[in-house]
């Protein structure tokens, strides 16, 4: 019987599979990994049964992990908000900047004025930086259009980025991000527009992989978001939520009620909210970049999430106003230093748990036979270095679907 032949065989590797088990980082007694087509087809010791390969790649003792997954970004936008950063340093709060027409609405103005091609070109630069840091999957939210035409434009730009780059793009409709100026004082009216016009149209266009909303005093109430989630649920659209970032609005409990994939930020969540997330299997997406940039002091309750076994994901939250970064390694370091997450938790936050936060854990997030061959190869001596070094980029090479 002819011996199986794979497309690529990586040898002389250290494998951090990031599967959940007894060994730190899911490290296994193996030094080789094989790819057939776009999937992992074999892992083991080269000397004991490695398949024949069309191409053999010696990675010379480097570490291999799953490709990184950035599960919460606002990557597609136009303009910048450097002046608001200066306002913040001079003492203005997030709420005060928003009340003066800044914050999200200043990006809305710039994004509405940009063409789809301009949006894609500007966002391409940010996406390339992420890919250069080992990212193979990125979630991209809309939410800077706040009307049908411009929300579609943003999601089309996100779709285009996924088509022209070796990266998986997950498109999230965030029409309920802020109240547009034309609906000032009429949040119910705008939410009705989101629910009855924008959501069904965007769904029909095939541009929505998930839906999100901002449940907060300066955004939308729990009841308004509940009506949106009911509409999404009828369309079988997966749900995510910006929750408990600036106050406890019981958004995480609402998200859990709808079996949301994730609730994100969560600085002000209490034990009741954590318990509901645990029951629902909802992932906690921790966003240290926004916490740091906004100089917040209320930390997410990491110990409570651990106590109730709520999976902890991490993301850059790449956006122009509160987390202008494309650097996952920096976020890992911040999560460790600011929130005392361990290096293993931090890396799991950008791999295994990030995949779960996107509903993709059956396809990506760990090195396992049958999963997508999204790989990151690192010039490190131990996986903890990915968290320990401040903003470093030790990436040696990156493979998406088995291709460099």
Is 265 known as a binding-site position? no
366 close to 18: Cβ distance less than 8 angstroms: yes
What gap in Å lies between CA 255 and CA 280, rounded to an integer? 9
Is 317 known as a binding-site position? yes
Is 327 known as a binding-site position? no
- Cα 267 to chain centroid distance, Å, stands at 17
292 close to 271: Cβ distance less than 8 angstroms: no
CB neighbour list of residue 152: distance below 8 Å, 6 or more residues apart: 145, 201, 202, 205, 207
Angle at 139 between CA 235 and CA 101, to 5 degrees: 90
Is 321 known as a binding-site position? yes
Is 81 known as a binding-site position? yes
What gap in Å lies between CA 396 and CA 62, rounded to an integer? 9
Cα torsion 360, 145, 127, 386 to 10°: value is: -60
21 close to 27: Cβ distance less than 8 angstroms: no
| Closest-CA residue to 325 (of 309, 314, 336) | 314
Map tokens 């193996």 to a residue: 30
Is 319 known as a binding-site position? yes
CA distances from 188 to 13, 179, 233 (A): 56, 10, 19
Is 177 known as a binding-site position? yes
DSSP helix/strand/coil, 78: coil
Residue 394 in tokens: 């030790």
Is 188 known as a binding-site position? no
Is 144 known as a binding-site position? yes
| Closest-CA residue to 289 (of 58, 74, 37) | 74
Binding residues: 72, 74, 81, 144, 177, 242, 245, 317, 319, 321-322
Binding residues for 4-imidazolone-5-propanoate: 81, 144, 177, 245, 322
Binding residues for Fe(3+): 72, 74, 242, 317
Binding residues for Zn(2+): 72, 74, 242, 317
Binding residues for N-formimidoyl-L-glutamate: 144, 319, 321
């Amino acid at each position: 019987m002819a011996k199986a032949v794979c497309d690529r065989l990586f040898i002389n590797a250290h494998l951090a599979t990031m599967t959940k088990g007894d060994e730190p980082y899911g490290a296994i007694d193996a030094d080789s990994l094989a790819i057939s087509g776009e999937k992992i087809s074999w892992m083991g010791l080269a000397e004991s049964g490695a398949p024949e390969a069309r191409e053999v790649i010696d990675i010379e003792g480097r570490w291999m992990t799953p490709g990184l997954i950035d599960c919460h970004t606002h990557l597609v936008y136009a303009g910048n908000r450097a002046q608001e950063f200066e306002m913040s340093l001079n003492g203005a709060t997030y709420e005060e900047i928003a009340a003066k027409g800044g914050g999200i609405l200043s990006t809305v103005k710039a994004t509405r004025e940009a063409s789809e091609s301009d949006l894609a070109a500007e966002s391409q630069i940010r996406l390339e930086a992420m890919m250069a840091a080992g990212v193979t999957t990125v979630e991209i939210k809309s939410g800077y259009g706040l009307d049908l035409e411009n929300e579609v434009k943003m999601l089309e730009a996100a779709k285009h980025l996924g088509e022209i780059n070796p990266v998986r793009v997950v498109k999230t409709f965030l029409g309920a991000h802020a109240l547009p100026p034309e609906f000032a004082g009429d949040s119910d009216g705008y939410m009705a527009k989101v629910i009855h016009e924008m959501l069904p149209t965007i769904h029909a266009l095939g541009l929505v992989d998930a839906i999100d909303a901002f449940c907060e005093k300066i955004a939308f109430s729990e009841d308004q978001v509940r009506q949106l989630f009911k509409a999404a649920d009828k369309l079988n659209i997966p749900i995510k939520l910006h929750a408990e970032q600036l106050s406890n609005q019981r958004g995480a409990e609402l998200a859990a009620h709808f079996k949301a994939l994730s609730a994100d930020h969560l600085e002000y969540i209490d034990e009741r909210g954590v318990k509901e997330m645990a029951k629902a299997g909802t992932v906690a997406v921790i966003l240290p970049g926004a916490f740091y940039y906004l100089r917040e002091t209320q930390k997410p309750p990491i110990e409570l999430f651990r106590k109730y076994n709520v999976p902890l994901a991490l993301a850059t939250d790449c956006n122009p106003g509160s987390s202008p970064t494309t650097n996952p390694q920096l976020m890992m370091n911040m999560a460790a230093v600011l929130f005392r997450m361990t290096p293993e938790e931090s890396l799991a936050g950008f791999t295994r748990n990030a995949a779960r936060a996107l509903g993709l854990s059956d396809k990506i997030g760990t090195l396992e036979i049958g999963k997508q061959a999204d790989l990151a190869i690192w010039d490190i001596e131990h996986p903890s270095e990915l968290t320990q070094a401040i903003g470093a980029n030790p990436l040696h090479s990156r493979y998406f679907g088995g291709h460099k």
